[in-house]
Amino acid sequence: MSLTKPNQDLKRDLQGIASDLKWSAVELMRIAERLSLAGNEADAQAVLKMCTVFHADEDRLTRHAEDVKAGKILRDA
């Protein structure tokens, strides 16, 4: 089943946001590493917790994009 233009746009938006979260988590992990090396372990751990949340949100958005592709989630025109 081919996707309508609104559903294609929704799928692309969800995938794009998931990608942005992944990139942000990678950058935050680098920051956490620098914080840890500088002796600021408390802030490093806080940043790593943010990374965990970002990864979970990325996974959730990816699943939503797959649901759009499968026709389980539809966007009206």
Residue 77: per-residue pLDDT: 67
Q: Is residue 8 very low, low, confident or very high in pLDDT (cuts 50, 70, 90)? A: very high
Residue 20 in any domain: the answer is yes
DSSP per residue over 13-53, as a string? Answer: HHHHHHHHHHHHHHHHHHHHHHHHHTT-HHHHHHHHHHHHH
Residue at 75 is within a domain: no
| Residue 76, in any domain of the structure | no
Answer whether residue 62 is part of any domain: yes
Number of domains in the chain: 1
Give a yes or no: residue 19 inside a domain.
Answer: yes
Residue 14 in domain: yes
Q: Does residue 1 have a pLDDT over 70? A: no
Q: Would residue 61 count as lying in a domain?
A: yes
In which domain, by residue range, is 50 found? 5-69
What is the pLDDT averaged over residues 5-16? 96
Q: What is the pLDDT of residues 48-75, one digit of tens each?
A: 999 999 999 999 999 999 999 999 999 9
Query: Taking the model in full, what pTM does it have?
Result: 0.86
